Structure 1
């Protein structure tokens, strides 16, 4: 990406499913759903939204090998999307002790997303 125009930050949580994809989708939704970029077409080459570049950095706490990046990509309506997955985020107790595994709590997966938009 030659020019970064916006950086949007979001957080997503899967409270009980230990699903890193669900938490990542929610983090990206959180990052992008409070923004409007009506002037972006005026700075993109040829005004083409498909030429916009979007880099998504996901800080995931566990199960990076289970992360479905295509499901995350589906949340981004325009642009050429790339991903950078790094260790981070948080695993924390949801406060529920699993009946079949009394020695372990039900974990909440927290993912942090940084969405860079430019061209």
Structure 2
């Protein structure tokens, strides 16, 4: 990324089902869903949103091998998207095991996200 313009942060939780991808997508949505970048096209090469570069950094507590990177990337509608995965996040108890919610145990998966945007 030649020019870093925005960094947005968020977190996502999967309370039941222990799905690290679901928690990661929720973290990304949490980071970006209350933001607008109306001037971004003014500074992008050729005023083209697809010239935007987006780097997603995810701090994941476990199951990194089960993280669906393509689903994570699809959360961002424009630009070239890269994903970095690192140790972090949190595992904590939900306090209840719900078989009908496909729980494997009573853990919640919490993922942290940092979204870097620029060109």
Q: Per the shorter chain, which TM-score range?
A: over 0.9
Name the SS of the counterpart of 1:96 in structure 2.
Answer: coil
Task: Return the offset for 1:38.
Answer: 0.5
Q: Does 1:117 align with 2:106?
A: no
**RMSD over aligned Cα atoms:** 1.5
Q: What TM-score does the superposition give when structure 1 sets the normalisation length? A: 0.92
More strand by share: 1
Q: Distance in 2 between matches of 1:40 and 1:58?
A: 24
Large movers: runs of 4+ above 2 Å: none
Task: Return the offset for 1:97.
Answer: 5.0
Contact kept? 2:14, 2:109, Cα under 8 Å: yes
Task: Return the offset for 1:83.
Answer: 0.7
1:19 match: 19
Name the SS of the counterpart of 2:50 in structure 1.
Answer: helix
Q: Does 1:28 align with 2:48?
A: no
Name the SS of the counterpart of 1:30 in structure 2.
Answer: helix
Q: What TM-score does the superposition give when structure 2 sets the normalisation length? A: 0.92
Residues 48-59 of structure 1: matches in 2 within 5 Å? 48-59=48-59
Q: Which consecutive unaligned segments of at least 5 residues does structure 1 have? A: none
